[in-house]
Amino acid sequence: MRKRRVYLVPTHFCLYSDISNIFFVVIPGEHLRICPQEYTCCTSEMEDKLSQQSKLEFENLVDETSHFVRTTFVSRHKKFDEFFRELLENAERSLNDMFVRTYGMLYMQNSEVFQDLFTELKRYYTGGNVNLEEMLNDFWARLLERMFQLINPQYHFTEDYLECVSKYTDQLKPFGDVPRKLKVQVTRAFIAARTFVQGLTVGREVANRVSKVSPTPGCIRALMKMLYCPYCRGLPTVKPCNNYCLNVMKGCLANQADLDTEWNLFIDAMLLVAERLEGPFNIESVMDPIDVKISEAIMNMQENSMQVSAKVFQGCGQPKPAPALRSSRSVPENFNTRFRPYNPEERPTTAAGTSLDRLVTDIKEKLKLSKKFWSTLPYTVCKDEQVTAGPSIEEDCWNGHTKARYLPEIMNDGLTNQINNPEVDVDITRPDTFIRQQIMALRVMTNKLKNAYNGNDVNFQDTSDETSGSGSGSGCTDDICPTEFDFITTEAPPVDSDRREVEASATQPGCSLQTLFVIFITLVLQRQWR
């Protein structure tokens, strides 16, 4: 038995061969509402079905074309968040191990002071309402209170007296210059890191939302005319002209293109903060040696303990002696042990199996690739050889009416430039409110990034839960989050149901429209985007 074959005839007849039977199918096209009303292979029902197919293919194509930019933000947000959290865990564990070894029981009895420091740093990173400067000031004040009692065990200190002691933290500088330097380093680094990961979150959410397009009726008509009217004219192998495709896509994606200006400013701001993270605001260079810096501060306090005590006694008054049992005790011997930092080879492994520099460099490269993404989306779609005939083929392509050159000029980007779009009926007076919301979200985030670049704190309390940094999940809306993608093939309409509809509408004597639709389904499956 010979296989079925489809033949194309220049006169636009649809020819079908099944073994030895040949059917010539031609229908007057007055019933068509989208395709040219000439001789056609399509019934009204088929045109409706193919319009819906056009809509689904367009939605799927835009979703897949934007897959790269979406997964870029998903995967990099996940990696950066994982790195940052592990960096904090490593720093806290390193400090705890070193101080247990150096100060022993004295540290363990006062370890909650240091634990609270890391708890607050984590809470700040995850979106908590934490004032970093006040929190760090409180840490040094509490540490001074505890140490002051340790270096003066012969006295009894009331809560009020210790509160007075803490007020001398800035004036006496018992810890040397370490608190001031560390405050500057920690605040700048944490502000930049938290804002940066928030930026990755916002970019992820905006890309996810904008890529879910809802084509207008005018767009659906234009898509049908471009994608499937060649089939109805008996030209199933003739692909749309490249410039024709561009005008259709620019009309259908006009609102998305309007996102581009704010998107590019957002990407530029992300890149600026990334440079800060690589340079003076490097969170890794701050947190990795934080145990050493705090220990240096403690040693400064030990070395200046007599002067500090004398000035405190002068300002807060002479404290009462401790009970006899306690007054005979001197400063614990192991408290005077000098801190011994890890050798480089003893340092914990780098967080998340990478370094901040490598991580940020990778993110910067991906961010640069995402610039101008929304304005170039029509070009990305139309350059696919599965969609158009390509820019080099200008004569043998579908121009919306027949196989010939496409003559209208290409529209500029954006909604207002579609007023004279010859292919898509676009209402330029009604901007998409959903897209405008995403533009505003980008604008707000860009301002926060600019503040972070200058070292200024920003408040994230106005962000929604889904864009908060409180979660470490990827937020990926796909089943998997690969960094590369293939086009997804959409399914053709169910054959059985369509057969019955075509059969009921058949009006051409001696022609099998049921068989004709089988041909169409075969052709549709052959041209699906992959």
pLDDT digits (tens, 9 = 90+) for 310-321: 999 999 999 989
Q: Which of 334, 309, 322 is nearest to 153 (CA)?
A: 322
Is 341 contained in some domain?
A: no
| Residue bearing the bigger pLDDT, 462 or 180 | 180
The secondary structure element, H or E, covering residue 515 is: helix 513-527
Domain count, the chain: 1
Residue 488 is assigned to a structural domain of this protein: no
Residue 287 corresponds to which tokens in the numbers above?
A: 């947190």
Domain containing residue 272:
46-322+355-417
Residue 412 is classified by DSSP as: P
Measured between alpha carbons, how far is residue 477 from residues 51, 70, 212, 267, 460 in Å?
27, 9, 11, 22, 23
**% the chain with pLDDT above 70:** 74
pTM of structure: 0.77
Length of the chain counted residue by residue? 530
Instruction: Give the residue with greater pLDDT, 521 vs 128.
Output: 128
How confident is the model over 456-470, as a mean pLDDT? Answer: 48
SS3 288: coil
60 pLDDT exceeds 70?
yes
Assess if residue 63 is contained within a domain. yes
pLDDT-derived band at 350 (thresholds 50, 70, 90) equals low
Would 384 be classed as within a structural domain?
yes
Give the pLDDT of residue 337: 45
Tokens 């033949």 locate to: 7
Does residue 490 fall inside a structural domain? Answer: no
Token pair for 108: 């363990």
Q: What percentage of the chain reaches a pLDDT higher than 90?
A: 59
What are the two backbone dihedrals, phi and then psi, of residue 23, each rounded to the nearest 5 degrees?
A: -115, 130
Burial (CB < 10 A; 0-12, 13-18, 19+), residue 395, is exposed
pLDDT single digits (tens) 66-89 = 999 999 999 999 999 999 999 999
In a domain, 230, yes or no: yes
Residue 340 lies in a domain: no
Instruction: State both tokens at 347.
Output: 């340092």
b vs e for 179-217, b when ≥16 Cβ sit within 10 Å of the residue's Cβ?
beebbebbbbbbbbbbbbbbbbbbbbbbbbebbebebbe
**Torsion 228-232-238-243 (CA) sign:** negative
Total Cβ atoms within 10 A of residue 521: 17
pLDDT at 434 over 70: yes
Residue 487 within a domain: no
The per-residue pLDDT for range 260-312, each reduced to its tens digit, is 999 999 999 999 999 999 988 999 999 999 999 999 999 999 998 999 999 99
Average pLDDT, rounded, for the chain: 80
